[in-house]
Structure 1
């Protein structure tokens, strides 16, 4: 079942309009997440919204938004006043222009979404808009209101639907000169470039996301499973960076290392069972023990009155 739509409205190209729904194209729900606990009791920490001066808890219905003018002065803005800021993009994505994909600076990209027709009507109009963008090999630029703010969205065909990517406004992108001006101008010799190019050639390949593993996520799963099993946790030695003295020698050694990696990659790898990503892997039984449905997991000894994770 598809997740709930983040936005529903209309997609319009001139006089052609169709109802559409916008869905998040990515998710981080599979990643390990932690709760904050009271070390003394093991109970979860609860956050309260309190008045900064009186310390009294404030119910949600009494909380309004405020714009800070100075230290002690705020301009209050109600929910109704915000809703009265009428923008057509609240309900309609109006396609303003078409641009080449290469014209969009990667720094302006925020996050991707999927667009599809909403309901059983409008599929013909959606197909016309989608296929026109595909035929022209362009990206459609429009605007929509999401999370109470207007965003620029770049739309391009993806399979039978559209992928819409939210874009930043120019004022949100920092000037690189603030960070790069102090980089020294260095003359790189031809020999160094030749060695570096050789390393790049040996490591060149095609981008295949499936071959990348989230090593930190895997390490978290291993840590939690070890603690569930009551095993001692030994700190691992951190890798140390090498102090490069001779850049040419480091490049030559790198060429040799890249060549060795290339030979190892050509050898047929042993087939391994693909692990379930993220938190679902936590459902697997601890190594060396029977599955939970056969033998209940033994809880580690804890102090009286303390809850365990």
Structure 2
């Protein structure tokens, strides 16, 4: 079952319009997550919204938005006032311009979404917009409002749909100069660069994300499985940090390591990392396996 749409509205290129829905293209739901608990009772910690001065709990209907104009002085902004300044892009993604993909600075990229026709109508108009972008090898730049804020969105074809990537505004991107100005200018020899290029050539591969393994997530699963099974948790020895004495020696040693390293094994594409967790204690293996096959992967640990 497809996830719920984050946004529904219309995609418009000049006078060509079609109803569309926007879906998140990524998810962190399969990652191991923890709750905060009271170590003395084992009960989960709950948080309350309280007045910072009186310490009294505040009901949801009494909570409003406020902009801090001075220390401890706030200007209240109501929901109606925010709705009054709602933009046209709350319901329409208007394509403003087309740019080349390589002109988009990667620092401006935020997160991807899938865009598809909403319902049974408008598929022809959607296809016209999609194939026009594909045929011209361009990226369409538009605007969309998500959670009351307007975002710039870059649209490009993917299979039968579109991928829309939210972009940052210029004021959100920090200047590199304040970080890079202090980097020293150094002179590199041809031998150093040749050795470095050999290392790169030996490690060159195609981009295959299915090979990537989340080692920390795997270690978390192993830790939880061992604790549930009552096994001791051995303290892992940390490797000692070594100092690079000679850059040329380090490059030569790295070249030897790169040549001896085998290509990483392709990881099996799993439906969810949490499927690697042990079955809940007290259930028979066959019963646990049957329930696992019939239900979705558990979202929380038992």
Instruction: Judge same fold: TM > 0.5, yes or no.
Output: yes
Match of 1:153 in 2: 153
Alignment of 1:10-159 (within 5 A): 10-159=10-159
Looking at structure 1, the residues matched to 271 and 142 of structure 2 have their Cα atoms a distance apart, in angstroms, of 38
TM-score computed with the length of structure 1 as normaliser: 0.89
5 Å-filtered alignment, 1:227-246, equals 227-246=227-246
The corresponding residue for 2:255 is 255
* 1:34-57 CA-partner distances (Å, limit 9, x unpaired): 000001100000000000000000
Preserved contact between residue 86 and residue 148 of structure 2 (Cα < 8 Å): no
Root-mean-square deviation over aligned CA pairs: 2.1
Q: Distance in 1 between matches of 2:250 and 2:118?
A: 57
Check 1:12–1:274 CA distance in 2 against 1; reply closer, same or farther (3 A cut): closer
Q: Deviations over 1:203-226 (max 9, x none)?
A: 101011011110000000000000
CA displacement, residues 161-201 of structure 1 (integer Å, 9 cap, x when unaligned) = 00000000000000000101111111111110000000000
Once the two structures are TM-superposed, the CA of residue 281 in structure 1 deviates from its matched residue by 2.0
In the alignment, which of 278, 281, 285 is matched to residue 273 of structure 2?
Answer: 278
Distance 2:259 2:208 in 1: 21
Instruction: Give the CA deviation at 1:276.
Output: 5.7
Contact 1:285 1:292 (8 Å CA) reproduced:
no
Change (3 A) 1:276 1:19: closer
Query: Aligned pairs, how many?
Result: 290
Unaligned runs of 5+ in 2: 290-300
3-state DSSP class of the match of 1:143?
strand
Q: What is the deviation of 1:279?
A: 2.0
Q: TM-score, normalised by structure 2?
A: 0.91
- 2:220 corresponds to: 220
- Which ranges of structure 1 fall in alignment gaps of 5 or more residues? 296-307
State the SS of the aligned residue for 2:183. Answer: coil
State the distance in 1 between where 2:231 and 2:89 align. 56
Give the distance between the partners of 1:71 and 1:32, measured in 2 at CA.
Answer: 39
Q: Report the secondary structure of 2:285's partner residue.
A: coil
Match of 2:285 in 1: 291
Q: Deviations over 1:15-74 (max 9, x none)?
A: 000000000000010000000000110000000000000000001110000000111210
Q: CA deviation at 1:158?
A: 0.4
Pair 41,119 (structure 1): closer, same or farther in 2 beyond 3 Å: same
